[in-house]
């Protein structure tokens, strides 16, 4: 029989047998009481094995994740999740979990039926699907983007068709869907399938101090310039899982400028925004970050910026605290604020020229006069209208500054 003795309104239940404690969670654990209750249940399990089932959640609160990480290393815990989004997130944090083969929350919380899934398999090992090249025409992809927009509100209509095509092809292979039309049906019949697509449909690749040369310029030239401002606003657009804004926060901290800076970090994909807010990263991410940090001229121990637990690490509170993460799409053209520095790296490359121009105009309108714009290494302003409103400050590193439009002069 299911129990929830302490606070009945919490969505956490448990059931004990002689050898096992079964904990079922129907929550993202954003309530502090729930996290405390989970901790009590873990401690109270004594010598029993622990099995945890998490239903409905795409993500869980960073502190709950920390608790799980700590318990996963010292006690044998088996973790089952209902959502693939959460499974991928756990995997990136070094926590193995299995998918539950049940669509809804069981009425009787008996041990749910589980299916050992194969999400760890590499895409190229997957059986060949019958999705043929010819099916993914520009016209069909355009129609797909129209329907995604009208049904789910995500606007990919002005993205490069080739990039959308590649992402959809990877998705059908990974999910073993037979062809474009079948994928079309599955995605529009069932929101859960769309959520699966969104796990990494907008490419989310990122790193701490990615392109370390760029961070060297930020450290040695841009921050000393910005230090003359009494307060500083930075917008990191397309921030993915947060490594980029956290790298900035680390630099600002080292320069003694963090307290006077507000960093706004935004992304189209709500999943990555939640992950970024948690600030939890797997060990491999930290190792790569440490290498980049040193290459960018960092002189401290990169690990000192994190609290380690199990196979992951959480960025320290003082850095998480300074960043406001929220979901925002660059296809919405509303001006955000007057920023002194805008980073939008490795995002424009997925947009067609017309959308690139709109976004560059949006950045220009959202900037202070002498502000800096940083784009990705394979992006720029040569092939769009960016030259009208920006000039190159450091062409190689794709760093630009706002032009004074009225006089046509460049600011110094
Ligand atoms: C390749 S990642 C780049 C991350 C980071 N800027 C970097 O360079 O390491 C691209 C990010 O842009 C986001 N993105 C794509 N389209 C967007 C849009 N319309 N508005 C805001 N973010 C978007 C994606 O969700 C993804 O997280």
Measured in Å, residue 267 CA sits from the centre of ligand 1 at 6
Average pLDDT over residues 297-317: 93
- For the CA of 205, the closest atom of ligand 1 is 1
- For the CA of 236, the closest atom of ligand 1 is 6
- Judged against a pLDDT cut of 90, whether residue 170 lies above it is answered with no
Say what the pLDDT of residue 116 is.
41
Specify the residue with its C-alpha closest to ligand 1, atom 26: 204
- For the CA of 344, the closest atom of ligand 1 is 6
Would you list the DSSP string of 192-224? HHHHHHHHHSS-----TTSSHHHHHHIIIIIHH
Average pLDDT, the chain: 86
The band of 5, judged by pLDDT with boundaries at 50, 70 and 90, is low
Measured in Å, residue 30 CA sits from the centre of ligand 1 at 25
Distance (Å) of CA 261 to CA 249, 251, 322, 324: 9, 11, 8, 11
- Judged against a pLDDT cut of 60, whether residue 15 lies above it is answered with yes
Measured in Å, residue 329 CA sits from the centre of ligand 1 at 9
* Distance between CA atoms of residues 161 and 144, nearest Å: 11
* Distance between CA atoms of residues 221 and 225, nearest Å: 6
Each residue of 129-168: pLDDT tens digit? 444 556 788 888 999 999 999 999 999 999 999 999 989 9
* Distance between CA atoms of residues 85 and 91, nearest Å: 10
Give yes or no for a contact between 73 and 49, defined as CB atoms under 8 angstroms apart: no
Measured in Å, residue 137 CA sits from the centre of ligand 1 at 24
- Judged against a pLDDT cut of 50, whether residue 1 lies above it is answered with no
* Distance between CA atoms of residues 159 and 149, nearest Å: 12
DSSP state of 123: G
Q: Give the range among 35-44, 93-102, 392-401 with minimum mean pLDDT.
A: 93-102
Specify the residue with its C-alpha closest to ligand 1, atom 6: 345
Specify the residue with its C-alpha closest to ligand 1, atom 7: 206
Each residue of 226-276: pLDDT tens digit? 999 999 999 999 999 999 999 999 999 999 999 999 999 999 999 999 999
* Distance between CA atoms of residues 197 and 195, nearest Å: 5
- Judged against a pLDDT cut of 80, whether residue 127 lies above it is answered with no
DSSP state of 394: E
- Judged against a pLDDT cut of 60, whether residue 60 lies above it is answered with yes
Measured in Å, residue 243 CA sits from the centre of ligand 1 at 12
Q: Which residue has the tokens 């600011």?
A: 411
Give the predicted TM-score (pTM) of the model: 0.86
Is 149 strand, coil or helix? helix
The band of 94, judged by pLDDT with boundaries at 50, 70 and 90, is confident
Specify the residue with its C-alpha closest to ligand 1, atom 24: 202
């Amino acid at each position: 029989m299911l129990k929830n003795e302490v606070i009945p309104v919490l969505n956490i239940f448990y059931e004990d047998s002689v050898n096992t404690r079964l904990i079922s969670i129907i929550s993202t654990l954003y309530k502090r009481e729930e996290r405390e209750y989970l901790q009590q249940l873990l401690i109270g399990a004594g010598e029993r094995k622990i099995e945890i089932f998490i239903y409905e959640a795409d993500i869980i609160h960073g502190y709950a994740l920390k608790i799980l990480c700590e318990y996963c290393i010292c006690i044998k815990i088996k973790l089952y999740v209902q959502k693939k989004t959460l499974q991928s997130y756990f995997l990136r944090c070094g926590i193995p979990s299995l998918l539950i083969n049940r669509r809804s929350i069981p009425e009787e919380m008996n041990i749910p039926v589980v299916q050992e899934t194969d999400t760890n398999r590499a895409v190229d090992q997957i059986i060949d699907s019958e999705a043929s090249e010819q099916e993914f025409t520009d016209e069909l992809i355009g129609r797909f983007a129209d329907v995604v927009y009208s049904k789910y509100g995500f606007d990919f209509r002005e993205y490069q068709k080739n990039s959308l095509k590649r992402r959809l092809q990877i998705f059908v292979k990974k999910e073993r869907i037979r062809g474009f039309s079948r994928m079309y049906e599955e995605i529009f019949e069932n929101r859960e399938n769309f959520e699966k697509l969104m796990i990494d449909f907008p490419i989310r690749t990122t790193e701490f101090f990615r392109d370390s040369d760029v961070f060297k310029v930020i450290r040695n030239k841009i921050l000393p310039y910005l230090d003359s401002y009494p307060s500083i606003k930075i917008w990191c657009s397309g921030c993915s899982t947060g490594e980029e804004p956290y790298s900035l926060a680390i630099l600002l901290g080292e320069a003694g400028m963090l307290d006077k800076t507000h960093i706004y970090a935004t992304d189209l994909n709500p999943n990555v925004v939640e992950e970024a807010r948690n600030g939890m990263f797997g060990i491999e991410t930290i190792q790569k970050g440490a290498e980049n940090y040193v290459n960018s001229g960092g002189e401290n121990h990169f690990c000192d910026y994190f609290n380690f637990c199990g196979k992951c690490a959480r960025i320290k509170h003082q850095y998480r605290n300074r960043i406001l993460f929220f979901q925002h799409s660059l296809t919405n053209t509303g001006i955000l604020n007057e920023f002194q520095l805008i980073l939008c790296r490795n995002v424009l490359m997925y947009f067609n020229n017309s959308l690139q121009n709109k976004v560059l105009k949006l950045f220009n309108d959202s900037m202070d006069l002498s502000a800096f714009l940083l784009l990705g290494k394979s992006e720029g302003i040569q092939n769009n209208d960016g030259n009208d409103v920006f000039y190159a400050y450091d062409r190689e590193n794709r760093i630009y500054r706002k032009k004074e439009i009225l006089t046509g002069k460049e600011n110094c």
